[in-house]
Amino acid sequence: MIDTLTNLASKNALDEKLNNSQHPILFLIDIRDFKLINLKHTDEGGNFILRSFAKSLISFAQKNEIFIFRVWADEFALLKDMLFDLDTVEKLIFSLLEFISSKKYDFKGYNIAIRTNIGISFDLKNSFQKASLALALAQKENQPFISYSEFAAKLLEEKNESVSKDIKAAIDNGFITPHYQRIIDLSGNEVYQEVLIRLSLQESLQPPGFFLEIAKKRGFYHSIVKLLSQKILSSKIRQAVNFSFEDLSDKVIFEYLLKTYKDSNVIFELQGNFQANTKQALSDLKSIGIKICLDNVETPQTLEKFDSTMIDFVKVDGKLLRLLNISEESKSTCRVILKECERLQCKSIASRINSNTSFEESKKLGFNYFQGFFFGKPTDKI
């Protein structure tokens, strides 16, 4: 039951191990766009990547007392038998993501980085099938990882009617749940808290990637915005809420935002494509006291259309920050973004900081503020 290419235990060995596990936590890891690696570097390059990636996973598995398997082709499995503990599992997930993103493999002068999708199951029954469903959804939604839930399974099967009923029930019952994550300065002082929307359903919390698009298509989005806004404005703590530039082009939503958030000291974290009305919309928001943060900035070019009257914060995407200690290109990109922040006279935020290494590197570059699991996971308590 050994895979001959990687010398890892095979799918049969995984099945046997699952049968004897009391508390299985199963990760299925698929190398994203592996076919493109094969096309560019031939089977020789593809096999080299599979063997090299397997060796990397072995070192991670040994460090974390995890069993490792090659399931098939470019898919691997990690299995840990332990009682479920949310903090431990979250640290394990983000440690795995950071570990994978930090690796590059040198093949005949090509420095090849690997991106993955991961499906996770915490269930004793049908663990592999559930992790496979979660992996398929992570691939479909282009997410780094997704854990199995009944709601995710419905989305994967595209039962939009059933999902729509679940969303409507959650709205009707007020189960739109804000979670909060702190943004801090160099001294550890809180600058503000970002509100992360969750939908409470079937004894689990669903992030927006699972439900917002369907909510928009079925006409529930306005109700979600109103319900979330009511909860945000019930607190005097300085908070940031996420919207898109597309929201600012929706006349009904924009008029509601102008009326509801006037003199509220709330920050709008905005992402998406610059719209024709963006400059005027930002001016209108600034006139009622709203601060503006550009979210998930990956390139300096994103900032070129803005001036110092339009934005107050720039949040740099975590994908850049996770690679700071191994990628000179990421450092260079961040330096140019920080130069743009100086031009715009706004504060820079390093996001998704999940390790001390990322924190130290972002401090050296000169970021003003920081956010991520390293400082605390999102919580439903302000």
Residue 378 falls inside a structural domain: no
DSSP bridge partners of 146: 119
Q: Are residues 92 and 225 in the same domain?
A: no
The pLDDT assigned to 202 comes to: 61
Backbone phi, psi, residue 342, to 5°: -65, -45
- Domain-terminating residue out of 101, 120, 148: 148
Domains: count for the chain: 2
Residue 273: CB partners within 8 Å, gap ≥ 6? 245, 246
pLDDT at residue 159 in the model: 58
Closest CA to 156 of 119, 122, 196: 119
pLDDT given at position 380: 82
Whole-number pLDDT of residue 317: 87
Q: Are residues 208 and 80 in the same domain?
A: no
Q: Are residues 288 and 347 in the same domain?
A: yes
Please give the residue range of the domain that contains residue 110. 11-148
- Do residues 175 and 318 both lie within one domain? yes
Q: What is the CATH number of the domain that holds 332?
A: 3.20.20.450
Whether 271 and 124 map to the same domain: the answer is no
- Pair 313, 171 in one domain: yes
CB 148 within 8 A of CB 122: yes
Q: Within a domain: residue 59?
A: yes
6 belongs to a structural domain: no
pLDDT in tens, 38-48: 888 888 888 99
Rounded mean pLDDT of 102-106? 89
Lowest model confidence (mean pLDDT) among 24-28, 158-162, 246-250: 158-162
Q: Does 135 share its domain with 191?
A: no
pLDDT for 143 equals 83
Question: pLDDT (tens digit, 9 = 90+) per residue, 251-309?
Answer: 999 999 999 999 888 999 998 888 888 899 999 999 999 999 999 898 899 999 899 99
User: What are 316-345's pLDDT values in tens digits?
Assistant: 988 788 777 777 888 999 999 999 999 999
Task: Share the mean pLDDT of the chain.
Answer: 88
Question: Residue 243 in contact with residue 273, Cβ under 8 Å?
Answer: no
Within this chain, do residues 292 and 330 fall inside the same structural domain, yes or no? yes
Q: Point out the domain boundary residue: 116, 148, 180.
A: 148
CATH of the domain at 53: 3.30.70.270
* Helix, strand, coil shares, percent, the chain, to 5: 45, 25, 30
